[in-house]
């Protein structure tokens, strides 16, 4: 039995009945990493950590978990896969890490990502690209590509990623696993190294919907350390795992099924709709009229916030410091310029420049302020639909995983990879991607379900029902 190919809830059953030990589970994952990660490159560092016992009085959940390289763990190098943070070891745990430690989770290692989460392919990493376990000539998606590849490739049982514009859901779709972006404020961002503070959310990447419900239950909740954390009760998400969608009305946005979508993706999503109809869900075509402005709005708001957040990396307090060989302006200014030029990759520089421009004097009102106004309109679109629908269903991505290097020189084409996921971040709503089929080339296809703020239970109910009536979540990469 390959324990590392099982889900977390299956493994917990084995541990409870004494058919497997936490150490055996951890060792099985480590053996898989040793056997395959030189080729997949899901991890940037691996830890042979001690198996935790969990908090006293609580049932332990000693499941091997992979952590994206932008989530702080005390004393563990955390670099956002950027040269500029080389050597940085946080003096504190992110809130999600603290909660996982209390649960008894086992930290397997730190996963690869696009630098500072700037990308949709995990090619923009100072450590090199991650490869998709289903086809190693292709990308795993991004920016949480390392976490998605680790789970799909049996190198972790579950993982944490972060989602600013689709960075959990799109790689989950490309790698054939489940990825959840919670409602903004549902999970604390304390200890998440910021990309765009009004968009970022930490969430689970797992092998099935049940595991996503379990992991979200561990990491969700109010946190005094995060001023954007929502003081909203956290339900028992496992109670939403029922094979029943009768009485639910699901909207199909006409703007998401237009030119540019891969016919195989469109066909798989149509088949998923038929499955849910047979299970009792009602469907209705709806409109999200400002969808066409989502990409432009996102790349104004997100780059502006990135420019502001990345200003702190100056070579003074932590990370990389480069001193020029000869003085040009002043020792301090020269050091700033040399450090940032050497420390940031091309995509990070591109986004910093775009964001700085949109925030600059004379352009703030034309770009950033207008972007915020359109963001409000996009949110209102969702509010209007949710007045008559319980959920919205769309493809997760317009295509399956593309070839490594295929879009590297075409930033706009790369940005369009997130066209179906970005709006959920702009509006703050929860969204989940579940596997819904495979292309003729054997590549996974993802189905995205969106719900009202703090209605993650609706996502789990629909996702679980779909899972129980289809075989896709049982497909495993053969490595």
Distance, first Cα to last Cα, the chain: 14
Which of 167, 229, 307, 427 does the annotation list as catalytic? 167
Q: Are the beta carbons of 340 and 84 closer than 8 angstroms?
A: yes
List Cβ neighbours of 32 (8 Å cut-off, separation of 6 or more): 4, 153, 154, 155, 479
Please say if 198 is a catalytic residue.
no
Active-site residue (options: 103, 120, 121, 143): 143
Give residues with Cβ within 8 angstroms of 92, minimum separation 6: 72, 74, 191
Cα–Cα distance, 97 to 136 (Å, whole number)? 30
Do 120 and 166 contact (CB within 8 A), yes or no?
A: yes
Structure tokens at 446: 């993802």
In three-state form (DSSP H/G/I as H, E/B as E, the rest C), the secondary structure along the chain is CCHHHCCHHHHHHHHHCCCCCHHHHHHHHHHHHHHHHHHHCCEEEECCCCCCCCCCCCCCCCCEEEEECCECCCCCCCCCCCHHHCCCCCCCCCHHHHHHHHHCCEEEEEECCCHHHCCCCCCCCCCCCCCECCECCECCCCCCHHHHHHHHCCCCCEEEEEECCCCCHHHHHHHCCEEEECCCCCECCCCECCCCCCCCEEEEEECCHHHHHHHHHHHECCCCCCCCCCCCCCCCHHHHCCCCCCCCEEEEEHHHCCCCCCHHHHHHHHHHHHHHHHCCCEEEEECCCCHHHHHHHHHHHHHHHHHHHHCCCCCCCCCCCCCCCCCCCCHHHHHHHHHHHHHCCHHHHHHHHHHHHHHCCCCCHHHHHHHHHHHHHHHHHHHHHHCCCCEEEEECCCCCCCECCCCCCCHHHHHHHHCCCHHHHHHCCCEEEEEEEECCCCCEEEEEEEECCCCHHHHHHHHHHHHHCCCHHHCCCCC
Q: Assess contact for 114 and 143: CB atoms under 8 A.
A: yes
Q: Based on the residue annotation, tell me whether 278 is a catalytic residue of this protein.
A: no
For residue 244, what are its two tokens?
A: 């029943």
167 is catalytic: yes
Q: Which amino acids are annotated catalytic?
A: 68, 143, 167
């Amino acid at each position: 039995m390959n324990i590392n190919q099982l889900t977390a809830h299956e493994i917990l059953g084995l541990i409870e009945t004494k058919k497997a030990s936490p150490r055996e589970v951890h060792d099985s994952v480590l053996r898989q990493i040793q056997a395959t990660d030189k080729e997949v490159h899901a991890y940037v560092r691996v830890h042979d950590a001690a198996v935790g016992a969990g908090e006293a009085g609580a049932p332990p959940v000693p499941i091997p978990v992979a952590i994206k390289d932008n989530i702080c763990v005390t004393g563990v190098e955390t670099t956002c896969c950027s040269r500029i943070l080389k050597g940085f070891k946080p003096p504190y745990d992110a809130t999600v890490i603290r909660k996982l430690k209390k649960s008894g989770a086992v930290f397997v290692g730190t996963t690869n990502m696009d630098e500072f989460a700037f990308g949709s392919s995990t090619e923009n990493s100072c450590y090199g690209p991650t490869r998709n376990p289903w086809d190693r000539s292709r990308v795993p998606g991004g920016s949480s590509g390392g976490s998605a590849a680790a789970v799909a490739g049996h190198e972790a049982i579950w993982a944490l990623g972060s989602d600013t514009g689709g960075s959990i859901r799109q790689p989950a779709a490309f790698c054939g696993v489940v990825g959840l972006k919670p409602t903004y404020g549902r999970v604390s961002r304390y200890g998440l190294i910021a990309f765009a503070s009004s968009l970022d959310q930490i969430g689970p990447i797992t092998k099935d919907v049940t595991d996503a419900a379990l992991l979200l239950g561990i990491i969700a909740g109010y946190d005094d350390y995060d001023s954007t954390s929502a003081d909203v009760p956290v339900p028992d998400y496992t109670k939403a795992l029922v094979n029943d969608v009768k009485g639910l009305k699901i909207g199909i946005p006409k703007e998401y099924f237009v030119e540019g979508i891969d016919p195989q993706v469109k066909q798989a999503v149509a088949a998923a709709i038929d499955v849910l109809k047979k299970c009792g869900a009602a469907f209705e075509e709806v409109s999200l009229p400002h969808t066409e402005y989502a990409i432009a709005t996102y790349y104004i708001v997100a780059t502006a916030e990135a420019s502001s957040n990345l200003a702190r990396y100056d070579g003074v307090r932590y990370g990389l410091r480069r001193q020029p060989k000869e003085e040009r302006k002043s020792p301090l200014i020269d050091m700033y310029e040399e450090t940032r030029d050497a420390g940031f990759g091309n995509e990070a520089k591109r986004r910093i420049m775009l964001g700085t421009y949109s925030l600059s004097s004379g352009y703030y009102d034309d770009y950033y302020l207008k972007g915020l106004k359109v963001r409000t309109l996009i949110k209102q679109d969702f509010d209007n639909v949710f007045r008559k629908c319980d959920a919205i269903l769309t493809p997760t991505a317009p295509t399956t995983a593309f070839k490594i290097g295929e879009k590297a020189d075409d930033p706009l084409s790369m940005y369009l990879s997130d066209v179906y996921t970005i709006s959920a971040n702009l509006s703050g709503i929860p969204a989940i991607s579940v596997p819904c089929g495979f292309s003729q080339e054997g590549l996974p296809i993802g189905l995205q379900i969106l719900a009202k703020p703090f209605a993650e239970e609706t996502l789990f109910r629909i996702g679980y029902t779909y899972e129980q009536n289809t075989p896709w979540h049982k497909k495993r990469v053969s490595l």
